[in-house]
Amino acid sequence: MGLLMFIKKSLFGLIFVLFILTIFSNCFSSFEGYDSGTISINLGSSGNPRSLIYPPEQHGILNDLIYNITLSGNGNNITFTAKGGESIRRSVPVGHYNVKIDVSYKDNPYASGSNSVDVKSGQNNSVTVNMKFDPRADFFGTWHNVSTTETALINVNKLVYTRDNSGEGHTIENLTWIPKQVNDISYPNFENGYSIKGTLTSFNGDPPHDENGDPANIGDTIIDYWYINTTNKNLIAWGDWGTNGEYIYLIFTKQ
């Protein structure tokens, strides 16, 4: 009788232990994935791209912005892209991460920013990244020739030149900024800067020169006609040929 009772107690104990192990097993399995968390990235103080100094939404380019995001830290280096206007979220292993964002518009640098965040297990971890424009964006705005009524308006995608009240001028769109070096053959004696490359979409009066130096037609590529001097903060354009066969150029200053 004692032996039978001992066996029953032993079996009961074994069943109880198995039951407890099963509960713990289920508990542990329910926590699977809790070694990771979610990073939610907000842009600027208001948490969206509208907080940029040059609001892309107001200029119809928000959907053309590409965000290149790099999360580095905790032995990981995670990169991915997002489009303008999308929510930026990513599930990553827990740990401390540096968040770097580079924004481009049609392959041109537009803005960048960075911050850091501690990703905690099973949580939505928010981080705000304040964006700063690429330095060349300092040249967006209205420029005036120092001695005439000529003006040039530049934004991220367009340059509009107006000669005077006659309405003469031209428009170049789909801008690309090409780095130029000191003593570049097209601009001798100028400091480092950028040539503005784009497509001639309209003109009235004399057109600018195309990439071969000839008068351009609508749809032609314009390059080296407009130049930004990043040292002297000038905008420079070729005007006409001089009496000795040299180029005469126009200098604009930002207003």
Distance CA 234, CA 138 (A): 12
- Amino acid, res. 133: F
The DSSP string of the chain is -HHHHHHHHHHHHHHHHHHHHHHHHHHHHHTTTTTEEEEEEEETTTTSGGGSSS-GGGGT-GGGEEEEEEEEETTEEEEEEEETTS-EEEEEESEEEEEEEEEEETTEEEEEEEEEEEE-TTSEEEEEE--EE-GGGGG-EEEEESSSS-EEEE-SSEEEEE-STT--EEEEEEEEEEEE-TT-TTSTT--SEEEEEEEEEEEESS--B-TTSSBP-TT-EEEEEEEEETTTTEEEEEEEE-TTS-EEEEEEEE-
Q: How many CA atoms lie within 13 A of 198 on its CB side?
A: 27
Dihedral sign (CA 3, 7, 12, 17): positive
pLDDT of residue 181: 61
pLDDT of residue 238: 78
pLDDT of residue 182: 54
25 phi/psi in degrees, rounded to 5: -65, -45
Q: Which residues, 6 or more positions from 243, have their beta carbon under 8 angstroms from its beta carbon? A: none
The DSSP string of 225-240 is EEEEETTTTEEEEEEE
Q: Is the pTM of this model over 0.85?
A: no
Domains and CATH numbers, the chain: 36-133 (2.60.40), 137-254 (no CATH)
pLDDT by residue for the chain (255 residues), tens only, comes to 544 444 344 444 433 333 333 333 343 333 334 588 999 888 763 444 434 545 666 666 777 888 899 999 978 899 999 887 777 888 999 999 999 999 888 777 788 889 999 999 988 999 988 888 776 777 888 999 877 888 999 987 899 999 877 789 999 998 888 877 655 555 555 667 888 899 999 999 988 888 787 889 999 999 878 988 877 788 888 776 667 766 678 889 987
pLDDT of residue 74: 79
Dihedral sign (CA 246, 216, 140, 174): negative
